[in-house]
Structure 1
Amino acid sequence: MTNDPVLESDLHAYVDDQLDVARRIEVEAYLSQRPQAAAQVMADLRIRDELRLALAERRSPAEPKTREAAGRLQRSLAWRRVYGTLQRVAAVLVFIAAGWAGHAYFGPFGAKEVVASVQPPAFVDEAICAHKTSLLREKMPSQPEVSGYDPDDIRSATAIVLPPLPQAWRVVDMQIFPSAYGPSVELAVQPRAGERLSLFALRPGSFAVQQPLPIHKNEVQAAYWQIGDVAYALVADKASADELTETARRLARSLH
């Protein structure tokens, strides 16, 4: 992690998949506190994916749909690059001014470096608790797992929208849990033999657009995100942070 401020150029690089994992996490933490900027980035990501999909389907770059997607992305990023240049100049001036002020007040060795960490929201703890409960139920013959579920029924009863699952995933259990925010949904799934993940969703009572962020806590790996008024977490006992976060990103994109 770094203490560098997130500038407009970082947002361009984020859209273009040109950041390393550490910097992506910093950018996503920045966006999680700024819904308007996050919404713009999500729109650029959608346009980028539309363009990639058009090219993947072997459409000619001259076809109207491809031209339109490319044009929208180019116009959006072009304006933001101009704005980003001005922002970088302002940031440099601010740091110069802060440096002189700090030197005058503290002296050359008075300031101490402070590294802040982003704390995950409370629903992540609930997701981890639901995952561990699901693993406990798996070992209890008296507690049969419920493999059938209806996303429309869940949405009607809880107002929680679940992302469409990959075809290879098998649902092995579904439970409705109480939470501090109301009902929550936990799906236990098997992406492949010997692997078990929990997809957790609830309405946290706030609106945000946040890309998936990884976290290692209580001996499990998780990735959490929020789209609108529904928050999600993907939890696993055995998974790499990068792989789980990328899986969470694919699920998040499927909701747009």
Structure 2
Amino acid sequence: MSIRPISEDDLHAYVDRALEPERQAEVAAYLESHPDVAKRVAAFADQRGWLRSALGPIAEEPLPPQLNLSRIIESRRRRPSSARWAIAVMLMLAIGGIGGWTMRGATQAPASGLAALAQEASDSYQVYASDRTRPVELRDSTELVSWVSSRLRQPVKLPDLSKSGYRFMGGRVVPTAHGPAAMFMYDDDHGERLVVLTRPMTSDQNAPMAPHAGGNIAGFSWADGGMGYSLVGPGAAEQLRPLANEVRKQARSI
């Protein structure tokens, strides 16, 4: 019996102890064989514990009567306990927002447009390209294209990079802050892997190709007709430009 691939949602539910016991055990086994992912999940757990420790005492206090809606309407004056609760609520919102983005691998306010797409592609590459056991969820190209087109509610074309020396390995649907995205993965005879990520864009719906780099990976991102595309892989960005041009040419032929 095959084990369902471990998704990003599974990792967060694992930290929250929201999985069924059997699935919890599957994720635990996965983390034992994937130390890089386990390290990231440990940071999630630390963040969760810190939030509980910081806000737990305030959350246990009874709600002050001054925060009753009818009393607020009657008077705009607040007592100290009410003020403390207001500060606590703002603190929870602020820390919760920061914590949520930290758990998604961000250390600053979320980006938008091409910058967000480039970061999402890089994150997907970091998580899945290093997985030597289950880097992709579906390997059948016909089934995959049908699935991702349905989830993105847009016709999606699978780029063919075989003439550039890269074989199609498979793909999956990945979650992003801007909705689902389709991830396609490729490798060459040396085991070097590339990722192409595509999703509908809410901003930068038509944007020229732009390079980006971070750590040991780089890539190009662009948008045409409301769809965004990002190709990422190891090495310098300029080495990937011909591949990005090929993906863009094929996408425009849809």
Q: Point out which structure has higher relative CO (alpha carbons under 8 A, 6+ apart).
A: 1
Q: TM-score, normalised by structure 2?
A: 0.47
Q: TM-score, normalised by structure 1?
A: 0.47
